Amino acid sequence: MDISVRKEELTTYACDLLVLGVFLKEKELSPEFAQVNEALEGKLVSFMKEDKFKAKEGSTFLMRTHGKIGAKRILVLGLGKKEFVSLESIRQATATSLGVAKGLGIKSVTSILHGSGIDSLNSIDCAQAMVEGAQLAMYSFDVYKKPTKISPIRFDFICVPSAQLRQVQKGIQTGELMACGTLLARDLVNTPAQDMYPEKLVKQARMIAKGKGTIQVKVYDTQALIRMGAGGILGVARGSDHPPFLVHMIYKPKKTTKKRVALVGKAVTFDSGGLSLKPADYMTTMKADMAGAAAVLGVFSVIDEVAPHCEVHGIFGAVENMPSGKAMRPGDVLIAMNKKSIEVLNTDAEGRLTLADTLGFAVKQKPQAIIDLATLTGACMVALGEEITGLMSNNDELAGQVSSAAQTVGEKVWRLPLETNYKKLVKSNVADLQNVGSRWGGALTAGLFLEEFVEKIPWVHLDIAGPAYAERDIDPYTKKGATGHGVRTILAYLKEF
Ligand code: BES
Ligand code: ZN
Ligand code: ZN
Instruction: Tell me the CATH number at 111.
Output: 3.40.220.10
Q: Give the nearest ligand 1 atom to 468 CA.
A: 8
Range of the domain at 236: 182-496
Considering only CA atoms, which of 208, 218, 185, 251 is closest in space to residue 494?
251
* Average pLDDT of every residue of the chain: 97
Strands lying side by side in the sheet with 341-343: 333-335, 341-343, 433-434
236 three-class SS: helix
Do the domain assignments include residue 121? yes
Candidates 353, 376, 440: which one to mutate for ligand 1, based on the most atoms within 8 Å of Cβ?
376
Cα(289) to ligand 3 centroid in Å equals 5
Which member of 278, 364, 423, 495 is catalytic? 278
Is 283's C-beta closer than 6 angstroms to any atom of ligand 1? no
Question: Do 267 and 402 lie in a common domain?
Answer: yes
Is 350's C-beta closer than 6 angstroms to any atom of ligand 1? yes
Do the domain assignments include residue 267? yes
Band the pLDDT of 322: cuts 50, 70, 90.
very high
Do the domain assignments include residue 176? no
Nearest-CA residue for atom 9 of ligand 1: 465
Could you tell me the CA-to-CA distances from 454 to 264, 268, 313, 370, 464 in Å, in that order? 11, 20, 15, 8, 19
Is pTM beyond 0.85 here? yes
pLDDT for 36: 96
Is 446's C-beta closer than 6 angstroms to any atom of ligand 1? no
Question: Do 241 and 390 lie in a common domain?
Answer: yes
pLDDT tens, 51-72? 999 999 999 999 999 999 999 9
| Phi, psi (degrees; rounded to nearest 5) at 318 | -85, 120
pLDDT for 348: 98
Is residue 160 predicted with pLDDT exceeding 90? no
Question: Do 332 and 397 lie in a common domain?
Answer: yes
Candidates 268, 348, 350: which one to mutate for ligand 1, based on the most atoms within 8 Å of Cβ?
348
pLDDT tens, 388-435? 999 999 999 999 999 999 999 999 999 999 999 999 999 999 999 999
pLDDT for 149: 82
Strands lying side by side in the sheet with 260-271: 215-220, 245-251, 311-321, 260-271, 369-374, 459-463, 389-393, 413-415
pLDDT for 159: 83
Band the pLDDT of 150: cuts 50, 70, 90.
confident
Is residue 116 predicted with pLDDT exceeding 90? no
Question: Do 197 and 55 lie in a common domain?
Answer: no
Share of residues in the chain with pLDDT > 70 (%):
100
Q: Around ion ligand 3, which residues have CB less than 5 A away?
A: 268, 271, 289, 351
pLDDT for 497: 82
Cα(304) to ligand 1 centroid in Å equals 33
Is 229's C-beta closer than 6 angstroms to any atom of ligand 1? no
The Cα–Cα gap between 128 and 409 comes to 10
Q: Cβ atoms within 10 A of the Cβ of 244, count?
A: 26
In this structure, is the dihedral angle defined by the CA atoms of residues 435, 441, 442 and 445, taken in order, positive or negative?
negative
The Cα–Cα gap between 339 and 322 comes to 25
418: CATH: 3.40.630.10
Question: Do 145 and 81 lie in a common domain?
Answer: yes
What's the distance, CA 348 to chain centroid?
24
Is 134's C-beta closer than 6 angstroms to any atom of ligand 1? no
Is residue 360 predicted with pLDDT exceeding 90? yes
The Cα–Cα gap between 434 and 477 comes to 40
| Phi, psi (degrees; rounded to nearest 5) at 96 | -60, -45
Cα(348) to ligand 1 centroid in Å equals 7
Do the domain assignments include residue 377? yes
Q: Give the nearest ligand 1 atom to 273 CA.
A: 13
Do the domain assignments include residue 303? yes
Question: Do 399 and 254 lie in a common domain?
Answer: yes
Question: Do 114 and 49 lie in a common domain?
Answer: yes
The Cα–Cα gap between 263 and 402 comes to 12
Do the domain assignments include residue 171? no
Share of residues in the chain with pLDDT > 90 (%):
96
The Cα–Cα gap between 225 and 319 comes to 12
- When pLDDT is averaged across residues 320-349 and rounded to a whole number, the result is 98
pLDDT for 27: 85
Do the domain assignments include residue 69? yes
The yes-or-no answer on residue 145 being catalytic is no
Cα(146) to ligand 3 centroid in Å equals 31
The Cα–Cα gap between 234 and 72 comes to 60
Is 267's C-beta closer than 6 angstroms to any atom of ligand 1? no
Distance between first and last Cα of the chain: 30
Band the pLDDT of 379: cuts 50, 70, 90.
very high
Question: Do 202 and 55 lie in a common domain?
Answer: no
Band the pLDDT of 275: cuts 50, 70, 90.
very high
Nearest ligand (C-alpha, residue 439): 1
The Cα–Cα gap between 449 and 379 comes to 14
The yes-or-no answer on residue 278 being catalytic is yes
Do the domain assignments include residue 177? no
Residues at the annotated binding site for Mn(2+)? 266, 271, 289, 348, 350
Domain boundary among 159, 190, 221: 159
Cα(282) to ligand 1 centroid in Å equals 9
Q: Where would I find the H helices in 141-251?
A: 165-190, 198-209, 222-228, 231-237
Is 442's C-beta closer than 6 angstroms to any atom of ligand 1? yes
Domain boundary among 159, 174, 199: 159
Question: Do 59 and 9 lie in a common domain?
Answer: yes
pLDDT for 351: 98
Is residue 203 predicted with pLDDT exceeding 90? yes
pLDDT tens, 457-472? 999 999 999 999 999 9
Considering only CA atoms, which of 209, 301, 207, 306 is closest in space to residue 253?
306
Beta bridge partners of 75: 19, 62
Considering only CA atoms, which of 450, 264, 273 is closest in space to residue 362?
264
What domain count does the chain have? 2
Nearest-CA residue for atom 3 of ligand 1: 377
Is 463's C-beta closer than 6 angstroms to any atom of ligand 1? no
Is 351's C-beta closer than 6 angstroms to any atom of ligand 1? yes
Q: Around ion ligand 2, which residues have CB less than 5 A away?
A: 271, 348, 350
Question: Do 247 and 295 lie in a common domain?
Answer: yes
- When pLDDT is averaged across residues 303-308 and rounded to a whole number, the result is 97
Is residue 267 predicted with pLDDT exceeding 90? yes
What is the secondary structure of 278-330 as a DSSP string?
PPHHHHTTGGGGGHHHHHHHHHHHHHHHH--SSEEEEEEEEEEE--STTS--T
Cα(325) to ligand 2 centroid in Å equals 18
Question: Do 142 and 239 lie in a common domain?
Answer: no
Question: Do 280 and 405 lie in a common domain?
Answer: yes
